[in-house]
């Protein structure tokens, strides 16, 4: 599969759109991304958006990744979320040695996933780790060929620590057939992501199949891998919320034009209060999108220079992502409320968009704690920049 540009990938999304919409009920009921849909997305190259070009990926700029994921999420947020997880899970290919990276990421049709949070324990045994752990929020894992899991590093019975005293942890990569999956994804929103738990027991993982996204430097010198990694992960989540909110505005606009008032004399869209609410929601989402695009553009410009990306730029990027998730959830709430009793039925997209939006805001990279982190940067207060 050759590298593709944004236009080609966007056209591929358009070609899949009707089929994806028609299967939204299957995603909700099955609580996962059906294998045939995952396969179609893989065939379209949509899991390779930020994979290094040397591994057959598209290596798209962050803003292009944002637009493609938002486009998918406007159709169905669970689909956009799974693609977001799958594509950002290939970033380790820029860090691992070439042979290992090719072995894991070389097949363009393979789907990748994993959980960064260090929920596992990796015992250092010389040239390999002995890994045990259970990870939550394993989005799309059932369709993956390779998975990764964050793990604390244990040596000679003691937890290893960095110079600043923080526990050392690494992301370890292993074949999906070494994993036990647990049916735990019984949730309010993003139901179709299949984000259940997975675990491994006494699994031998060569050290070459591990990376620290905090302590290690990318081997690949491309600007994309100089771009703040945790900012890119946050941008992925924000992109899903953006697309989902755009879809909600489109859905509610169409519904209000068609829906009649209680007396039946005019459409709901002719009511002044409805007009004002739609205008405010559209302006809020547009403002958040513009702020996010500006933050992404500034970080991308610095990533293409020789100088390090500033703490201020990284902080603003994280702030813009969290702000987008928060505003998008408010927009979905407005759309849900304006639909009245219509929105409570399970066959109405607005109740799904409302649920999906509020589950997405719980992700660590866009949670309320991000505002505190960004606020410390803005106020020149001491801040741990390791995950900024």
Asked whether residue 383 is assigned to any structural domain, the reply reads no
- pLDDT tens for each residue of 50-83: 999 999 999 999 999 999 999 999 999 999 999 9
pLDDT category, 258, cuts 50, 70, 90? confident
**Percentage of residues in the chain with pLDDT exceeding 90?**
88
Whether 275 and 241 map to the same domain: the answer is yes
pLDDT category, 384, cuts 50, 70, 90? confident
Whether 80 and 197 map to the same domain: the answer is no
**H helix or E strand, kind and range, residue 187:** none
Whether 231 and 363 map to the same domain: the answer is yes
Question: Which of these three, 94, 121, 145, is where a domain ends?
Answer: 94
Is the pLDDT assigned to residue 262 strictly greater than 70? no
* Closest of 129, 149, 153, 139 to residue 199, by C-alpha: 149
Is the pLDDT assigned to residue 320 strictly greater than 90? yes
- Quick one: average pLDDT of 95-119? 97
Pairwise CA distance, residues 191 & 82, whole Å: 11
Query: What is the pTM for the complete model shown?
Result: 0.96
pLDDT category, 1, cuts 50, 70, 90? low
Pairwise CA distance, residues 226 & 235, whole Å: 15
Q: Residues near 372 by Cβ (< 8 Å), separated by ≥ 6? A: none
Contact call for residues 239 and 65 (beta carbons, < 8 A)? yes
pLDDT category, 264, cuts 50, 70, 90? low
Which pair of structure tokens corresponds to residue 310?
Answer: 């500033």
* Closest of 27, 14, 56 to residue 356, by C-alpha: 27
The mean pLDDT of the chain is 95
Whether 298 and 332 map to the same domain: the answer is yes
- pLDDT tens for each residue of 267-284: 787 788 888 999 999 999
Which pair of structure tokens corresponds to residue 121?
Answer: 């324990």
Q: Residues near 286 by Cβ (< 8 Å), separated by ≥ 6? A: none
Question: Which of these three, 186, 211, 236, is where a domain ends?
Answer: 211
Number of structural domains in the chain? 3
Asked whether residue 166 is assigned to any structural domain, the reply reads yes
pLDDT for residue 257: 87
327 φ, ψ (degrees, to nearest 5):
-65, -40
Contact call for residues 80 and 240 (beta carbons, < 8 A)? yes
Whether 124 and 257 map to the same domain: the answer is no
239 φ, ψ (degrees, to nearest 5):
-65, -40
Domain range holding 310?
A: 226-378
Lowest mean pLDDT across 228-237, 269-278, 364-373: 269-278
pLDDT category, 298, cuts 50, 70, 90? very high
Pairwise CA distance, residues 42 & 82, whole Å: 11
């Amino acid at each position: 599969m050759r590298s593709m540009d944004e236009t080609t990938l966007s056209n591929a999304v358009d070609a899949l759109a009707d089929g994806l919409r028609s299967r939204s009920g299957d995603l909700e009921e099955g609580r996962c991304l059906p294998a045939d849909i995952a396969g179609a997305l893989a065939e379209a190259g949509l899991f390779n958006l930020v994979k290094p070009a040397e591994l057959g990926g598209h290596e798209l700029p962050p803003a292009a990744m944002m637009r493609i994921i938002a486009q998918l999420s406007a159709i169905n947020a669970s689909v956009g979320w799974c693609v977001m997880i799958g594509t950002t899970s290939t970033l380790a290919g820029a860090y691992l040695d070439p042979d290992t990276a090719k072995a894991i990421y070389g097949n363009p049709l393979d789907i990748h996933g994993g959980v960064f949070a260090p929920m596992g324990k990796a015992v250092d045994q010389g040239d390999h780790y002995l890994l045990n752990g259970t990870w939550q929020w394993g989005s799309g894992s059932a369709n993956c060929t390779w998975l990764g899991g964050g793990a604390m590093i244990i040596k000679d019975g003691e937890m290893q620590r960095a110079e600043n005293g923080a526990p050392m942890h690494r992301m370890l990569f292993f074949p999906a057939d070494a994993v036990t999956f647990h049916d735990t994804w019984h949730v309010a929103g993003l139901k179709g992501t299949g984000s259940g738990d997975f675990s491994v027991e006494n699994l031998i993982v060569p050290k070459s199949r591990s990376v620290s996204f905090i302590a290690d430097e990318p081997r690949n010198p491309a600007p994309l891998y100089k771009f703040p990694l945790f900012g890119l992960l946050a941008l992925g989540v924000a992109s899903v919320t953006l697309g989902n909110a755009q879809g909600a505005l489109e859905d509610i606009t169409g519904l209000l034009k068609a829906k009649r008032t209680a007396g039946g004399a005019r459409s709901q869209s002719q009511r002044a209060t409805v007009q004002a609410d739609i205008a405010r929601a559209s302006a809020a989402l547009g403002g958040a999108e513009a702020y996010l695009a500006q933050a992404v553009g500034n970080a991308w410009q610095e990533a293409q220079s020789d100088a390090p990306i500033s703490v201020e730029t990284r902080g603003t990027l994280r702030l813009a992502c969290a702000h987008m998730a928060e505003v998008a959830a408010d927009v979905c709430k407005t759309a849900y409320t304006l639909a009245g009793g219509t929105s409570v039925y399970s066959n109405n997209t607005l109740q799904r968009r409302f649920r999906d939006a509020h589950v997405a805001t719980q992700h660590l990279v866009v949670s309320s704690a991000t505002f505190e982190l960004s606020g410390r940067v803005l106020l020149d207060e001491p801040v741990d920049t390791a995950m900024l």
